[in-house]
Amino acid sequence: MKKPKRDISNLEAPEQAEEICAEIRRERDEEERVIMEKALKERERLLAEASTEAEKRRASILAGAGKDIEHIKERIFSTVSMEKKRIHLDAKANYIKDIFDGVRREAQAFRGKKDYTAFLKKVILEGLEVIGREKAVILYSRLDGAIFNDSFAKDIRASSGGRELEFRQAPFSDTGVMMESADKRLSFDNRFEARLKRRYDELYMDLAKEAF
């Protein structure tokens, strides 16, 4: 609040000039004081706003960090769980592989057993169903040449419903047969190793479904 101006009309000229200068200084000081007070209040207001905003940002950062930590924990737990399942799956897969290796070793002696001829007939008829053509070529191992005589061929043709079949020796030693359509557009591998691999893949997929 400004003070009322002093009446200087009764003062001498030098005194009036001095009083005018003093009044100007007082007004200037008052204006500076008012400006300073306003500046200090504005400074305090800005500091308070900045502090509030900083606190909000701090809380937001902490909340985000908390979520990140939870996500990291979830990923860690998920990774550990997946690794446990993978180890379990690998153990079962290795067990199955050991069994199949044993079957593979026993298969080497199967060719000399009496059931082998019936096995060949079975895999041929299975393959013909897969090929699904009236004309087909049966490829057999040279080691099975003694079995693929006219009598065996006649039996297969009769059992296949009268299909037109050609029996041809092929350069492989595995048990079982390969076959293809007469136009060579379709083929099916029904040798022992191929049958074993298909069965292994089926078992592995079943294990993977159980594990995951």
Tell me: the pLDDT tens digits for 124-180? 999 999 999 899 999 999 999 999 999 999 999 999 988 999 999 999 989 999 999
Set out the domains of the chain in order of their start, with CATH numbers: 111-211 (3.30.2320.30)
- φ/ψ of 178, rounded to 5, equals -115, 155
pTM: 0.52
Give me the pLDDT at residue 14, please: 61
Could you tell me what percent of the chain has a pLDDT over 70? 68
Across-strand partners of 167? 138
Least confident of 95-104, 127-136, 141-150, 191-200: 95-104
CA dihedral 126, 129, 130, 131 (to 10 degrees): 120
Across-strand partners of 164? 135
Q: Is the pLDDT of residue 94 over 60?
A: yes
Q: Which of 12-16, 79-83, 193-197, 198-202 has the highest mean pLDDT?
A: 193-197
Could you tell me what percent of the chain has a pLDDT over 90? 32
Give me the pLDDT at residue 4, please: 56
- φ/ψ of 181, rounded to 5, equals -70, 160
Report how far residue 36's alpha carbon sits from residue 99's, in angstroms, rounded to the nearest whole number: 93
